[in-house]
Amino acid sequence: MRMRALSVFCAAAIVAALSLPSFAAEKAGKRYVIIHADDAGMSHNANLATIEAMEKGIVSSTSIMVPCPWFPEFAAYAKAHPDGDYGIHLTLNSEWKHYKWGPVAKRSQVPSLLDKQGFLWSDTPDVAVNARAEEVEVELRAQIDRALEFGVPLSHLDSHMGSLVVRPDLMEVYAKLAIDYDLPILVARTANKEVAKKYPDLFRYIGRFVTRLEDANIPVIDAVVTTSSNSDNFETRKRDYLKVLRETKPGITEIIIHCGIANDELHGITGTWLKRDGDRRVFIDPAVRAAVKDMGIEVITWKQVREMQNKKAQKLR
């Protein structure tokens, strides 16, 4: 694996960062949840499903895959609906077998990000082994700038398939983009055992990462969770998401979902088509909306996260 030389991170800094109180927990025990739909722009299907979940359901935020063929459609929607909460799903992977995409930057500028066919790498380990950090930065700046050129009002950044947290130097790029564009990024101040196993570098260096962001006045949320359900069954997915919601802790938690509509287009792209359809249906279900209210959970956006941070900063002056 190609690794860049980086400073050794102090264990004490990790412990300190993990113990910092959330700026959001101003009211003891208050639970805030961002219900976030990944993969807008991936396909026409994903666009329609995400829009429905935001307009008719309780999905409060989404992030857009700029390299994908259907990005312009969702960008036009975002520009026409500026009150929505839109991020960039920073994309270094093209993971489906027959539905592929390449970079936004010129291929000659980012050769380490491409497979033999000129598409972005299929999986995260491919990125970890091959990607040069300087080329990653070129590509991701091109993605963000393209979204801005299309008039997308941005509230945050996150990482498709977690490819930006597989190596310390890529985490540095991630943090640099957050600071340079003054946008929050998806990283939580706590990391569980599952994260530690899947992204050991993120778990190892989370303290320094969080400290750097907060020193730059970039808000950091408390937790990120997804449902552990692998079921295609709607009722099972609904039950599992309700369990996730019930078990959220005080502070700000992002729950990540993927919205779809069960039809031939989505079936032709991904074997997760029924799961994605289930996610959309769960979060437009009036019973789920009512349950969230009964739990005392406040559904918020990334825009509100930034507003909460600004109010806290003003109080401290």
Find the angle CA(187)-CA(152)-CA(57) to the nearest 5 degrees.
70
The DSSP string of 170-182 is HHHHHHHHHHHHT
Tally of residues, the chain: 317
Q: Where are the domains of the chain?
A: 11-316
- The 10 Å CB-count burial string (b at 16+, else e) for 182-221 is ebbbbbbbbbeeebeeebebbbbbbbbbbbbbbeeebbbb
Name which residue leads in pLDDT, 22 or 84: 84
Question: Tens digits of per-residue pLDDT, 98-150?
Answer: 999 999 999 999 999 999 999 999 999 999 999 999 999 999 999 999 999 99
Pairing of strands 223-225, 251-258: parallel
**Strand ranges for 41-149 from DSSP E:** 61-64, 86-90
206 against 78, higher pLDDT: 78
Q: Look at the pTM and tell me if it is higher than 0.75.
A: yes
Q: Which two tokens stand for residue 53?
A: 């979940």
- Rounded distance, CA 61 to CA 102, Å? 25
Report CA-CA distances (Å) from 313 to 209, 227, 310.
Answer: 20, 33, 5
pLDDT class of 28 with cuts at 50, 70, 90: low
Report pLDDT digits (tens) over 179-235: 999 999 999 987 777 777 888 888 888 888 899 999 999 999 999 998 778 999 999
Place of tokens 């994605």: 276
Chain centre to alpha carbon of residue 181: 16
Question: Given a cut of 80, is residue 72 above it in pLDDT?
Answer: yes
pLDDT number for residue 154: 98
- Cα 122 from chain centre: 18
Sign of CA dihedral 246, 289, 154, 311: negative
Kindly state which CATH superfamily the domain 11-316 is placed in: Glycoside hydrolase/deacetylase (3.20.20.370)
Rounded CA gap, 169 and 198, in Å? Answer: 17
pLDDT reported for residue 12: 28
